Amino acid sequence: MVMVFNGKTRGMLARFFADRGGAATADWVVLTSVVVVIGVATIYFVLGPEGGFTNLINSMSSEVDQAGANMEGVAASGASAIPGSGD
């Protein structure tokens, strides 16, 4: 199907494609939505349903505490804390 445009229609199409007035608005809409998405993703990462970043910090803290307790136990027994050192 071939579309035939008369002079009035061509002029309207030319003005439509040449008009850049709404381009700045579209740029701001995209920029604002990107900032909102990044903010929501950050909040989800920090406070997520499973504890997020806070849960990770607590887990690492308990691992460090356990490692410290293990080192204290090795030191109290008089054994070497370094595997394969022979003592």
DSSP 78: T
Task: State pLDDT tens for residues 12-59.
Answer: 778 877 777 777 778 888 999 999 999 988 888 777 777 677 777 888
In Å, how far from its chain's centre is CA 76?
45
Helix (H, G, I), strand (E, B), or coil: what is residue 42? Answer: helix
Task: State pLDDT tens for residues 46-80.
Answer: 777 776 777 778 888 888 888 888 877 777 776 66
Q: Give residue 51's pLDDT.
A: 67
Q: Give residue 50's pLDDT.
A: 72
Token pair 């490692």 is found at 67
The pTM of the full predicted model, rounded to 2 decimals, is 0.42
Residue ranges of the domains in the chain? 9-76
Q: Give residue 44's pLDDT.
A: 80
